[in-house]
């Protein structure tokens, strides 16, 4: 080997290993746990889908980098590198084949794992015994309302909204009298479905319960149903996941998941006030 050829070979080896370590290193660095522990029934399904997607796409990145590194290494050991184009047919085959394979592996797998979870979340009706809570996003808090003993939410109207009446509840409506209201704090019993009637007073917000793998936009003028079943007691963060204005960062609340008896007690206490 001449001096320049061996220098080039050394550079090639260095490049090849840099490409390998970068590819594999990026995947391993990104593979740390970044979601809080699951606290809802469907959460494990969402996590399985995310994990599959990470492993599938991560493996593709690693395989791609190993192949790239191999070609760098191989070319660096040849004195003369040819740049002849492969045939049009070979180019077609090697464009279509990986594209189809990646689509099947990444998209196909996500659909297989994701469709049962999404159909539960978006097409199935919540069970009849679900706790119904209305949550109205506003700049910059969450208004929480329960229908009270009559099980009916009182009428609201935008024209009735004032400093004292955040959601514009109509006092003339008989169903409004027993409604229970709270701010940025949602109480629910454990192991019972929760149906959130999601609304917004002003702009787009996003109702985000990281532990429960729930994220849904709140859209002004619409009432959007979201339901899930909490499986663990505790205090969980509620965040707004839509940049909704200067105070967006303040739109923090909590989901308090308690036992059935504690929940009944809490409701009774609230009704007494």
Chain positions contacting ligand CUA, by CB under 6 A: 137, 205, 240, 242-244, 248, 251
Q: Between 118 and 254, whose beta carbon lies closer to ligand CUA? A: 254
Q: Between 251 and 257, whose beta carbon lies closer to ligand CUA? A: 251
Provide the minimum distance between the beta carbon of 241 and ligand CUA in the complex, in angstroms, as a whole number.
7
Q: Between 73 and 238, whose beta carbon lies closer to ligand CUA? A: 238
Provide the minimum distance between the beta carbon of 218 and ligand CUA in the complex, in angstroms, as a whole number.
8
Q: Which helix (H) or strand (E) holds 239?
A: strand 234-240
As a dihedral over the C-alpha atoms of residue 142, residue 201, residue 227, residue 209, rounded to 10 degrees, the angle is -40
Report the C-alpha gap between 266 and 182 in whole angstroms: 12
Q: Between 45 and 137, whose beta carbon lies closer to ligand CUA? A: 137
Report the C-alpha gap between 237 and 151 in whole angstroms: 27
Provide the minimum distance between the beta carbon of 198 and ligand CUA in the complex, in angstroms, as a whole number.
12
Residues 6+ apart with CB under 8 A from 94: 86
Q: Between 27 and 218, whose beta carbon lies closer to ligand CUA? A: 218
- CA terminus-to-terminus distance, the chain: 91
What are the C-alpha distances in Å from 254 to residues 69, 140, 143, 219?
Answer: 49, 14, 12, 21
The strand order across the sheet containing 205-209 reads 185-189, 253-258, 234-240, 205-209, 214-218
Provide the minimum distance between the beta carbon of 184 and ligand CUA in the complex, in angstroms, as a whole number.
11
Provide the minimum distance between the beta carbon of 247 and ligand CUA in the complex, in angstroms, as a whole number.
8
């Amino acid at each position: 080997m001449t001096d320049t050829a061996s220098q080039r070979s050394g550079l090639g080896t260095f490049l090849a290993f840099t490409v390998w370590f970068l590819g594999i290193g990026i995947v391993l660095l990104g593979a740390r746990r970044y979601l809080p522990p699951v606290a809802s029934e469907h959460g494990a399904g969402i996590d399985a889908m995310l994990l599959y997607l990470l492993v599938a796409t991560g493996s593709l990145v690693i395989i791609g980098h190993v192949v790239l590194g191999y070609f760098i290494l191989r070319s660096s050991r040849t004195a003369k590198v040819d740049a002849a184009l492969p045939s049009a047919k070979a180019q077609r085959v090697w464009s279509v084949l990986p594209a189809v394979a990646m689509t099947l592996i990444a998209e196909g797998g996500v659909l297989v794992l994701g469709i049962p979870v999404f159909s539960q979340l978006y097409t199935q009706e919540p069970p009849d015994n679900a706790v119904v809570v209305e949550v109205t996003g506003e700049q910059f808090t969450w208004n929480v309302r329960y229908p009270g003993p009559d099980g009916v939410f009182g009428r609201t109207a935008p024209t009735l909204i004032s400093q004292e009446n955040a959601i514009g509840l109509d006092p003339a409506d008989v169903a409004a009298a027993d409604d229970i209201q709270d701010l940025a704090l949602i109480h629910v019993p454990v192991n019972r479905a929760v149906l959130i009637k999601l609304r917004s007073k002003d702009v787009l917000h996003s109702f985000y319960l990281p532990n429960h793998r729930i994220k849904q936009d709140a859209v002004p003028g619409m009432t959007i149903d979201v339901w899930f079943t909490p499986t663990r007691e505790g205090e969980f963060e509620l965040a707004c996941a839509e940049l909704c204005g200067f105070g967006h960062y303040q739109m923090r609340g909590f989901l308090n998941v308690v036992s059935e008896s504690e929940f009944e007690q809490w409701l009774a206490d609230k009704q007494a006030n």
